[in-house]
Amino acid sequence: MEALTFGNLRPEDDLMHAVGGDPSHNESMFFNFFDTGKKTGGFVRIGNRANEGHAEMTFCVFLEDGSVLMQWGRIPLEDKNAFRAAGLSFTVVEPARKIAVAFRGQAVRIADPLELVNPGQAMRGNPKVDVDLQLDVSGVGPMIGDRDGSSKDSVIFLDGVGHYQQAIRADGWLQVGEERTPLSARGVRDHSWGPRIWHSIARDRSLWVSFGPQMTVIACKTWLTGAEHADQMGCLIENGNVTPLKDIVIRTRFRSGTYYHNHVLLELTDVNGRRLDLTGDVLRYAPLRHRKEGEETVYLGQAMTHFTCGSMQGLGLSEYFDAESRTAGLIEYSRRGEACVE
């Protein structure tokens, strides 16, 4: 029988957890999924902030024609024991094995995702469409992480926060208006519970890509505010088996005159000394941001990225998170035409 967890997790960690006393307590689930043949995919997220009385919801799906379906909101939290917000829902069917992801509602179809640099204008100036997303999500390999964030030896780790990730397959459909597209997608899901303060992070690089059942790659580096060195975490999931990464080097080039990443070279070394080089070219880029009064704005570049590794190729998500004070340095790299090595 295959292992359902890797680390100190239990299958029931797929379910909801008790709300802690920290005002910023957040329990969230996130799924990224890409159908390489259809050149379609993106991510969906719900974050329940029970102590603040609301849920955060994001729906972002890139379409083959280059457009993006976008919806987000901060909605009054009706049930702290469920992931359900503004038409988006995640339902655990079988812990550690199967989850149903569904969205029924309206999203804005934005012809050029770069319009999201001015989100209000982009959301008001593009048409709303009826959307129905139905995905049967299955784990491909175990849930990987730490249930209380107490062991920095964990492969997937957040200090003081329960957290895990899992390679997934997602089968179903996406219907936009009257047009329904079957999806057979691969990706990664994330579940965390505990304190969450967006502005405690100075920068973050999270890259997820599946090359099919033979390999999924998770590679993340995070610099907390004031920290000189990055925390890094990641692994390879190969036919259900997990191999942690020992070292992650990210070389990034940016679109000229911007902090928008458009080319990535990942140099990975696993704990057995094996070296893998992945090349990623950004196909679609959505410049998102997070604002809070009295805090520095943070920018989240979400990009559908085509990765190659030897003879393997596939679509994945490259997510770049930068505090506003960091972006000037990235723009300078872009103007010089140089790669930023992190």
The CATH number for 83's domain is: 2.40.370
pLDDT, mean of residues 64-70: 98
In angstroms, rounded to a whole number, what is the distance separating the alpha carbons of residues 189 and 34? 12
Specify whether the CB–CB gap between 304 and 317 falls below 8 A: yes
In a shared domain, residues 133 and 218: no
Which of 196, 231, 265 delimits the end of a domain? 196
In a shared domain, residues 172 and 291: no
pLDDT, mean of residues 264-283: 98
Specify whether the CB–CB gap between 251 and 221 falls below 8 A: no
Specify whether the CB–CB gap between 189 and 204 falls below 8 A: no
Residue with tokens 């079988």: 94
- Which pLDDT score is estimated for 285? 98
CA dihedral 101, 25, 164, 79 (to 10 degrees): -30
Beta strands in 124-196 (DSSP E): 128-139, 143-146, 162-176, 179-195
The reported pTM is: 0.95
Q: Does residue 72 lie within any of the structural domains?
A: yes
DSSP element (H, E) containing 331: helix 324-336
Q: Is the pLDDT of residue 159 over 80?
A: no
Q: Which amino acid is at 223?
A: W
- Which pLDDT score is estimated for 1? 46
Tens digit of each residue's pLDDT (9 = 90 or more) over 279-297:
999 999 999 998 877 778 8
Tokens representing 131 are 């959307």
In a shared domain, residues 87 and 147: yes
In a shared domain, residues 184 and 261: no
Please report which confidence band the pLDDT of residue 153 belongs to, taking 50, 70 and 90 as the band edges. Answer: confident
In angstroms, rounded to a whole number, what is the distance separating the alpha carbons of residues 208 and 214? 14
In a shared domain, residues 152 and 108: yes
Q: Does residue 169 lie within any of the structural domains?
A: yes
Residue with tokens 């995919």: 41
> What is the residue range of 29's domain?
9-14+22-196
Q: Does residue 144 lie within any of the structural domains?
A: yes
**How buried is residue 89: exposed, middle or buried, by Cβ count under 10 Å (0-12/13-18/19+)?**
middle
Q: What is the length of the chain? A: 342
What Rg value do the Cα atoms of the chain yield, rounded?
19
In a shared domain, residues 189 and 225: no
In a shared domain, residues 86 and 56: yes
In a shared domain, residues 212 and 327: yes
Q: Does residue 254 lie within any of the structural domains?
A: yes
In angstroms, rounded to a whole number, what is the distance separating the alpha carbons of residues 156 and 164? 6
Which of 138, 170, 196 delimits the end of a domain? 196
Q: Does residue 219 lie within any of the structural domains?
A: yes
Q: Do strands 162-176 and 143-146 pair parallel, antiparallel, or not at all (unpaired)?
A: antiparallel
Tokens representing 47 are 């974050």
In a shared domain, residues 269 and 337: yes
Q: Does residue 4 lie within any of the structural domains?
A: no
In a shared domain, residues 134 and 103: yes
Tokens representing 303 are 């990009």
The domain tally of the chain equals 2
Specify whether the CB–CB gap between 142 and 133 falls below 8 A: no
- Which pLDDT score is estimated for 293? 76
In a shared domain, residues 233 and 192: no
In a shared domain, residues 202 and 192: no
Q: CA geometry: angle at 57 spanning 294 and 298, to 5°?
A: 35
pLDDT, mean of residues 221-225: 86
DSSP for 91-127? EEEETTTEEEEEEEEEEEEESSGGGGGSHHHHHHHS-
pLDDT, mean of residues 135-148: 95
Q: Does residue 1 lie within any of the structural domains?
A: no
